[in-house]
Structure 1
Amino acid sequence: MSHLELNLDGVEQQPLRTFTEKAYLDYSMYVILDRALPHVGDGLKPVQRRLIYAMSELGLSALSKHKKSARTVGDVLGKYHPHGDSACYEAMVLLAQPFSSRYPFVDGQGNWGSPDDPKSFAAMRYTEARLSPYAQLLLSELGQGTADWVPNFDGTMEEPKVLPARLPNVLLNGGSGIAVGMATDIPPHNLREVARACICLLENPDAGLEQICEHIQGPDFPTEAEIITPRRELMALYRTGHGSLRMRARFERENGDIIVTALPFQVSGAKVLEQIAGQMNAKKLPMVEDLRDESDHEHPTRLVITPRSNRVDLEGLMAHLFATTDLERSYRVNLNLIGLDGRPQVKSLPVLLAEWLEFRVETVRRRLQWRLDKVLKRLHVLEGLLIAYLNIDEVIRIIREHDAPKPVLVERFGLTDIQAEAILELKLRHLARLEEMKIRGEQDELEQERDHLQSVLGADARLRGLVRDEIEADAEKFGDDRRSPIVERAAAQALDESALVPAEPLTVVLSKMGWVRAAKGHEVDAQGLNYKSGDAYQSDTQGRSNQQAVFLDSTGRTYALAAHTLPSARGQGEPISGRLSPPDGARFVGVMMGAGEDLYLMSTDHGYGFICRLEDMISRNRAGKAVITVPQGASVRHPMRVRDPQHQYLAAATTDGYLLLLPLSELPCMPRGKGNKIINVPAARLKAGEEFLADLTLLDAGDSLTVVAGKKFKTLKPDEWREYLGERGRRGTKLPRGFQKVDILRPN
């Protein structure tokens, strides 16, 4: 079947695929060209252009009285834009909101929304509007032959295809839109900076991006928040036409409080407060005590953040808030617009400005040509009138005596049809003697204007000079200072979770069955706590609530959990295996807490051990990490905190009554492994289970050592236990009779 056929009834037929493809492409082009993307000439989308033109047709200039917005919307919908009234009114609201548009086109009266809630504007039957003074930059030349006119949707009237903008509004107010398969996000810019860049390009058409960016520092939003994107990224953005930029709120310090005075573009203060309050309620922001909004008419943005104490690092706190709330925000930039060729394209800044200047020069040329045509036409008419005045009696006679005087006048005085018609249209009052002087005066003025217009139109340099002068005048009249300062800063980083938790003293208790709990304070009787039936005390450690609790299991693996997340010691806790994934059959033998650089003695009952830093044992993995290698048949001993490895001694005793003391410095410090031999236990006895390491303890030089064997105990003073000093890995010295079965070594 061909792509287009007629059946017997004369009905057009075509494949569904062909029809749907054409229909969707037509719809896509409509959305792109007639709805979503702005034109490079006036920087407006069709609905915005129609709103501004309709308001000018209603006489709503900046000097007129405000009229109901519903009047404007009704005219736009009825004459030019047959779409929904709510969408049309919302487009009008955006043109009026000073916090949405850098240079608003509409001067609104009534409730037009607020920065906290831009969509809180009143209905169009309540608000009133007129054009702002800035709108004349689009409309002042409209009736001077500068615009192409196209029929409206029903063909009953005409509307301008593009308004004759005197400045590149596409950059000044920016815009955003989503079409089919493409989108646009053009940030606003400062009028004075853009005007200087345009003048630079007029004077030097070959100017590159670097020269243009000497004038355009970057976007300029309707807010005083900082643009923190580095200059090299802004240059890359302007070079390619797409990229992103970041804005950050500005704050001050006042009596120890943080005062946020400016928010990023389109960020709601109420939402920021909600985000901060959410972190406070989740106890993720302990350094903040109070939060309030003191914004008023004099201070449109004044958010007060009260820190918990004057010791709080305000810079660190704000960096965290920048990273976790809308106090810092990223904006996409995509300079996608409809060019002079009628096609959408992403353009670099130099190309965009050059194309707009081409549009502007052509607009001024058309305006001057339109005026020149009118001047020449008037001079032609005046020439005929002057002939009439010089022959007034003859003219009157011809008019009185002939029924059709026009052809007679044309033939008698060599006039054109236009001149003859102008003579016949003269009123009697204009036959006064002084009228000839007025004609000659007007003729002289128009001849001077004709010569000036012809000289400008005939010289490209003079034409561009006129465009430059007009841009300078408009920049002087409507320009203002930059609002968004550009301050290069690194992107903010959120604080680590441990830094957000108050550093309160905490005791973590581990039971033999692997249940864990945390009690506030360090004065806790861990062994006296209530345990489940069949369970008992295993281990405890002291630290801070903002630290990690590190658990050691019987296979030599370590695991870490944030201490502040552990259940309270008011109950019996919870099984630690519910939050971790230890190997089958493993049991937990110890728990550690402290700073990352704290040292712990890791050992097995086969007499091997080493010193390990706590940070080397921390793992974010539920399955933990292997730290100490456990020989077959050996058991992992409880870890011991090391205070000073260079001056402490290690006492080791076997179950057969051998005691050995050695300087702790003889053991290596390593992140993982089996360790070195501390005390020598014969391999045969280890294998048979007849002897193994009974206990280890750490001593300072002045400590005494108590040896416990069953119900007996013996205390060795420093000069006594020094007799047991030896080299690492030796068998040690046999204890006296009665202490052959050592249970515990305890420093005093």
Structure 2
Amino acid sequence: MSSDAPDVTDTVAERVKSVRVEEEMEQSYIDYAMSVIAGRALPDVRDGLKPVHRRILYAMHEIGVTSGSTHRKSSSIVGETMGDFHPHGDSAIYDALVRMAQPFSMRYPLVDGQGNFGSVDGDPAAAMRYTEARMAPIAEELLADIEKDTIDFSANYDDRLQEPDVLPSAVPNLLVNGSSGIAVGMSTNVPPHNLTEVVDAAVHLVDNPDATVRDLMEYVKAPDFPTGANIVGRSPVKKAYQTGRGRLRVRAEYHVEENQERSGKQIVITELPYQQNKSRLVERIAEDVNDGDLEGVRDLRDESDRDGIRVVVELKRGANVDVVENHLLESHLERTFGVINLALVDGEPKVLTLKEMLQHYLDHRREVVRRRSEFDLAEAEDRAHILEGRLKALDNAEDVVETIRNAEDRDGARAALRETFGFSEEQAAHIVRMQLGSLTSMEAAEIEDEYEEVTAEIERLEAILESEEELLGVVKDELREMKETYGDDRRTSIIEDTGTVTDEDLIPEEDVVVVLSEQDYIKRVPAETFKSQHRGGKGVIGSDLKEGDKVSTVFHANTHDYLLAFTNQGQVYQLKTYQVPEMSRTARGTSAVNILDLDDGERVTAIVNTDDFEEDEYLTMATQDGYVKRTEVGDFSNILSTGIIAISLEHGDALVDVEVTNGENELVLGSERGHAIRFDESDVRAMGRNARGVRGMKLDGGDAVAGLAAATSDDPRDLLTVTEFGYGKRTPLAEYREQSRNGKGLVDIKTGERNGRVSAINAVAADDHVVAMSEAGQIIRMPVAEISEIGRNTKGVKVMDLGDDDRLAAVDVFTPSEDTDEEDAEAAGEADESEDDE
């Protein structure tokens, strides 16, 4: 090899770029998130469409499946869309097509479907090979003038075709049809509205640019759902329009009528809240009747047909109509619609007020009309130029014909016409192509008439482009035309909130501590009763226990929380915090038999707040013998008063802890002898409620699982470990290397005569607070920061000073509210230096 040859190693090294893994992961995730946000999940504020809907409509436009054509197989439309514009799978495209054809999903459906496109009962649409579709007339308004350079185009996914970045959208589609979607870290839920009201508001905004949201609400009263029903109260609507976010209560339309066949009355439901499943509604009412929660109902019938919804709740003779009606309202006939007016503005997601949504749409229409006018003007001027040439040719018909006849060929004829008569290239080319029949006097009159029309059109277009007032006038006229063509009456009524009072309304919303003993005494105490202290103290008396009784459970909650209480026997019960009697700090409590139907020897070992649930989350459970199981939260939606099975246990095993996880968490199991194992949640497949689970931790003889903790790998949390003699420590989760489940794990804390066995483990953040309670009823609350952060395989520090015969019974961790008093905050920030780590 020549000495002058380049060093291959050096050449390759020059192309290698060193980057930090965390920076690359961060940037890649941001790129992915923005791709989902802008390219899939959120609508554009201008046309109200997500890319998949826009591509479906454009594909239908390109293949001529308009409102005037015959219906085309849905599979053909999906295939065209997927092949040319949207390579994300046919099921996603078909689902979007189906929704655009459902009159109960879209206020103004954009697709005219033929066949089974689903129902309000939740029935799925037929397969795409069985259904047919074409554009609805209003959808064509979204695409009107798209060929006139009114919007920008970009290359499709394979650079073979061009697709629109946005549609011209002669209809304010985002407001009239709404939109919903979930992106990365954000979601949108724009309610549908009445077209007539939206157009009136838009026209008012054009005439009054300084109009406020309150002014616009004179026209846009509230959302207008395709299924009708009623919006309860105006204040939530006002908040949603002024801030872009709000929670609307939507109530079914119903009335009470006399039963013609039987003596008695019946409640007839005729309209449902938006997106409520009618079949599921009937099932849930029937379940309440069968479970005894709803009394006085004799029969339940779904008499709905093509003319509308009619669900009949027939009452027994002498039944209290008001009681049944109130139960139906509280449990079944009202839903909350969470308004999130999030849309893409110049490619960025923004939460928009009512005025901002209208203004962005009007700005878009103004630009569309301007570009269309420029396009039409250029074409009109070209046509006028040709007509001027034809008129000039008619005035010199004999000479023009003679000149053309004397020319050797067409090129010569065009050149001669330009030279002799001063025609332009375009005029000469047109005259050469003219037929002799066009030289008649009648044809000449038609050309003169057309020239006058084109000249007038040029003047009109120039006036539009020269005057902002004229341009906005066109925008208003076209909006009024949409209102005249497609506008209709409001379907959703607005009713005043009469403020139905329930037991829950009478209970002030506050943080409380709930204490439960082994002999089933229960009470709640305001959390503020227990002031934050330094670690190592004795705390205060939290319960005056009956002789022989011990504290079994303590947890922090809000009076309005709905909780799931899991027991050592694998049962789960539903618990409303406000149903637990409030008592003083030193009170014993009341019998829990009327709140939790616990068996002998059954005790609560874990509490989960249902407010924390998301649809795609799981309840992950751990047993003392080392088994782990996770089950979808949806499986716990209907819990009987006597409880339901949460996990099947083998003889001698017991449920010890439950955590809410998202499918991507990391789990830590801690044993009573101080071992801990960390593994990925995905190692535990999701199972049903009756399953036992899989082995999560291998235990030595005499050892048992003490608790379960869950956190994400990028969450800077610590593992808090507390022992039965009141000692504990915090250790960063990163110090517990990830392993496969069913291992022995690593040493977490040294147990022995001083510490005793491990009582609980929790994943904690630095600003959390800890509530610990002993079997004898002593309770202490302290900031997590009070407990030293030290490594694994250490003894820890004293968390709570217990008596000689006392043991730590339960520990709960919570994040204090913002109004935590200054004394607590001060205590959380001070370090206790009286005791060193041993």
Q: CA deviation at 1:125?
A: 0.2
Aligned to 2:334: 328
Deviates more, 1:287-296 or 1:59-68: 287-296
Name the CA distance, whole Å, in 1 between partners of 2:16 and 2:403.
67
1:137 aligns with 2:141: yes
Aligned to 2:247: 244
* Among candidates 455, 463, 466, match of residue 471 of structure 2: 463
Name the CA distance, whole Å, in 2 between partners of 1:394 and 1:19.
77
Q: CA deviation at 1:204?
A: 1.0
Distance 1:374 1:288, change over 3 A: same
Aligned to 2:88: 83
Question: Is contact 2:295–2:324 with CA below 8 Å preserved after alignment?
Answer: no
Name the CA distance, whole Å, in 1 between partners of 2:351 and 2:603.
52
1:415 aligns with 2:423: yes
Residue 99 of structure 1 aligns with an amino acid whose one-letter code is F
Bigger CA radius of gyration: 1
1:432 aligns with 2:432: no
Q: CA deviation at 1:94?
A: 0.3
Deviates more, 1:259-268 or 1:459-468: 459-468
Name the CA distance, whole Å, in 2 between partners of 1:26 and 1:420.
56
* Among candidates 313, 322, 326, match of residue 319 of structure 1: 326
* Among candidates 114, 117, 135, match of residue 122 of structure 2: 117
Q: CA deviation at 1:491?
A: 5.9
Alignment of 1:570-585 (within 5 A): none
* Among candidates 66, 70, 94, match of residue 65 of structure 1: 70
Q: CA deviation at 1:297?
A: 2.5
Alignment of 1:225-624 (within 5 A): 225-228=229-232, 230-255=233-258, 256-298=265-307, 300-312=308-320, 314-325=321-332, 327-339=333-345, 341-403=346-408, 404-490=412-498, 559=590
Aligned to 2:761: none
Alignment of 1:643-654 (within 5 A): none
Question: Is contact 1:320–1:493 with CA below 8 Å preserved after alignment?
Answer: no
Q: Secondary structure of the equivalent of 1:143? A: helix
Q: CA deviation at 1:175?
A: 0.3
Aligned to 1:149: 153
Distance 1:491 1:225, change over 3 A: farther
Question: Is contact 1:289–1:308 with CA below 8 Å preserved after alignment?
Answer: yes
Name the CA distance, whole Å, in 2 between partners of 1:213 and 1:495.
34
Q: CA deviation at 1:310?
A: 2.4
Structure 1: which 5+ runs fail to align?
497-513, 516-547, 568-573, 581-622, 626-748
Name the CA distance, whole Å, in 1 between partners of 2:257 and 2:120.
24
Q: Secondary structure of the equivalent of 1:301? A: coil
Name the CA distance, whole Å, in 2 between partners of 1:177 and 1:483.
24
Q: CA deviation at 1:103?
A: 0.3
Q: Secondary structure of the equivalent of 1:338? A: strand
Normalised to the residue count of structure 1, the TM-score between the two structures is 0.64
Q: CA deviation at 1:311?
A: 4.1
Name the CA distance, whole Å, in 2 between partners of 1:280 and 1:364.
59
Deviates more, 1:315-324 or 1:218-227: 315-324
Residue 278 of structure 1 aligns with an amino acid whose one-letter code is E
Q: CA deviation at 1:342?
A: 2.7
Q: Secondary structure of the equivalent of 1:222? A: coil
- Residues 205-247 of structure 1 deviation map (CA, whole Å, 9 limit, x = unaligned): 111111100000110101121111x222211111111121110
Q: CA deviation at 1:170?
A: 0.5
Name the CA distance, whole Å, in 2 between partners of 1:495 and 1:277.
24
- Residues 648-693 of structure 1 deviation map (CA, whole Å, 9 limit, x = unaligned): xxxxxxxxxxxxxxxxxxxxxxxxxxxxxxxxxxxxxxxxxxxxxx
Residue 253 of structure 2 aligns with an amino acid whose one-letter code is R
Q: CA deviation at 1:265?
A: 0.8
Distance 1:578 1:408, change over 3 A: closer
Question: Is contact 1:43–1:169 with CA below 8 Å preserved after alignment?
Answer: yes
Deviates more, 1:442-451 or 1:139-148: 139-148
Distance 1:189 1:557, change over 3 A: closer
Question: Is contact 1:231–1:488 with CA below 8 Å preserved after alignment?
Answer: yes
Deviates more, 1:257-266 or 1:81-90: 257-266
Distance 1:565 1:241, change over 3 A: closer
Aligned to 2:59: 54
Name the CA distance, whole Å, in 1 between partners of 2:433 and 2:115.
51
Question: Is contact 1:381–1:419 with CA below 8 Å preserved after alignment?
Answer: yes
Question: Is contact 1:323–1:492 with CA below 8 Å preserved after alignment?
Answer: no
Aligned to 1:620: none
Residue 328 of structure 1 aligns with an amino acid whose one-letter code is E
Distance 1:566 1:383, change over 3 A: closer
Question: Is contact 1:227–1:246 with CA below 8 Å preserved after alignment?
Answer: yes
Residue 340 of structure 2 aligns with an amino acid whose one-letter code is N
1:194 aligns with 2:198: yes
Name the CA distance, whole Å, in 1 between partners of 2:351 and 2:10.
43
Question: Is contact 2:116–2:126 with CA below 8 Å preserved after alignment?
Answer: yes
Question: Is contact 1:185–1:335 with CA below 8 Å preserved after alignment?
Answer: yes
Q: CA deviation at 1:563?
A: 7.4
Q: Secondary structure of the equivalent of 1:215? A: coil
Deviates more, 1:248-257 or 1:300-309: 300-309
Q: CA deviation at 1:494?
A: 6.0
- Residues 137-173 of structure 1 deviation map (CA, whole Å, 9 limit, x = unaligned): 2122222231222222222222222111112110000
- Residues 632-655 of structure 1 deviation map (CA, whole Å, 9 limit, x = unaligned): xxxxxxxxxxxxxxxxxxxxxxxx
Aligned to 1:206: 210
Q: CA deviation at 1:344?
A: 1.7
Structure 2: which 5+ runs fail to align?
1-8, 259-264, 505-518, 521-578, 605-774, 778-838
Name the CA distance, whole Å, in 2 between partners of 1:146 and 1:395.
40
Name the CA distance, whole Å, in 2 between partners of 1:558 and 1:34.
57
Question: Is contact 2:294–2:327 with CA below 8 Å preserved after alignment?
Answer: no
Q: CA deviation at 1:198?
A: 0.6
Distance 1:198 1:557, change over 3 A: closer
Name the CA distance, whole Å, in 2 between partners of 1:114 and 1:433.
64
Question: Is contact 1:320–1:494 with CA below 8 Å preserved after alignment?
Answer: no
Q: Secondary structure of the equivalent of 2:455? A: helix
- Residues 432-453 of structure 1 deviation map (CA, whole Å, 9 limit, x = unaligned): 3433222212111111121122
Q: CA RMSD in A?
A: 2.9
Q: Secondary structure of the equivalent of 1:98? A: coil
Question: Is contact 2:438–2:444 with CA below 8 Å preserved after alignment?
Answer: no
Name the CA distance, whole Å, in 1 between partners of 2:14 and 2:436.
68
Residue 244 of structure 2 aligns with an amino acid whose one-letter code is G
Q: Percent identity?
A: 41
Question: Is contact 1:171–1:186 with CA below 8 Å preserved after alignment?
Answer: yes
Question: Is contact 2:296–2:319 with CA below 8 Å preserved after alignment?
Answer: no
Distance 1:381 1:556, change over 3 A: closer
Distance 1:556 1:7, change over 3 A: closer
Distance 1:236 1:557, change over 3 A: closer
Name the CA distance, whole Å, in 1 between partners of 2:422 and 2:459.
25
Name the CA distance, whole Å, in 2 between partners of 1:560 and 1:378.
92
Name the CA distance, whole Å, in 1 between partners of 2:222 and 2:16.
56
Residue 417 of structure 1 aligns with an amino acid whose one-letter code is E
Distance 1:405 1:353, change over 3 A: same
Residue 423 of structure 2 aligns with an amino acid whose one-letter code is L
- Residues 454-508 of structure 1 deviation map (CA, whole Å, 9 limit, x = unaligned): 2222222122122212211210110111111011225656679xxxxxxxxxxxx
1:104 aligns with 2:109: yes
Distance 1:144 1:561, change over 3 A: same
Question: Is contact 2:417–2:423 with CA below 8 Å preserved after alignment?
Answer: yes
Residue 254 of structure 1 aligns with an amino acid whose one-letter code is E
Residue 303 of structure 1 aligns with an amino acid whose one-letter code is V
Name the CA distance, whole Å, in 2 between partners of 1:69 and 1:30.
27
The number of residue pairs the alignment matches comes to 511
Distance 1:235 1:408, change over 3 A: same
Residue 29 of structure 1 aligns with an amino acid whose one-letter code is M
